[in-house]
Amino acid sequence: MIHYELMLLLRVMPKTELKTVLKRTANMIFEKGGIIRKLENLGTRDMPYKTSVHGVVYNKASYFLYEFNVPPTSIDQLLDEYGRDIDIIRRRIYKKIEPEQFECTLDDELKPPPYRKDVLALVEQSKKGDKPKFKYNTGLDYYPFQK
Partner 1 sequence: MNSLLRRVPSYSIISNNSLRKLCSTDAPDFNMENPFEKDKQQCILCKQNIQVDYKNVRLLSQFQSPYTGRIYGKHITGLCAKQQDKLEKEIVKAQSAGLMATYLKEPVFLQDPELFDVEKPLRPHRF
Among 104, 107, 128, 144, binds Zn ion (CB under 5 A): 104
Residue 146's Cβ-side half-sphere holds a number of Cα atoms within 13 Å equal to: 0
Which range of residues in 26-34, 86-94, 120-128, 139-147 is near partner 1 by CB under 8 A?
Answer: 86-94
d(C-alpha 38, C-alpha 21), whole Å: 16
Choose the contact partner of 109 out of Zn ion, partner 1, none; CB within 5 to 8 A by kind: partner 1
Query: Taking CB under 8 A as the rule, does residue 106 contact partner 1?
Result: yes
d(C-alpha 26, C-alpha 87), whole Å: 14
- Per DSSP, 90 falls in state E
Query: Least Å distance between CB 145 and partner 1?
Result: 33
Beta bridge partner(s), residue 71 = none
Query: Taking CB under 8 A as the rule, does residue 18 contact partner 1?
Result: no
Strand order in the sheet with 88-95: 35-53, 56-69, 3-10, 88-95
Task: Give φ, ψ of 96 to 5 degrees.
Answer: -75, 130
- Per DSSP, 144 falls in state -
Give the nearer residue to Zn ion in terms of CB position, either 57 or 104: 104
Give the nearer residue to partner 1 in terms of CB position, either 22 or 89: 89
Among 52, 102, 132, 139, binds partner 1 (CB under 8 A): 102
Footprint of Zn ion (CB under 5 A): 104
In the complex, the residues that contact partner 1 under the rule CB under 8 A are: 7, 9, 42, 47-49, 51, 61, 63, 65, 89-90, 92, 94, 97, 99, 102, 104-107, 109-110
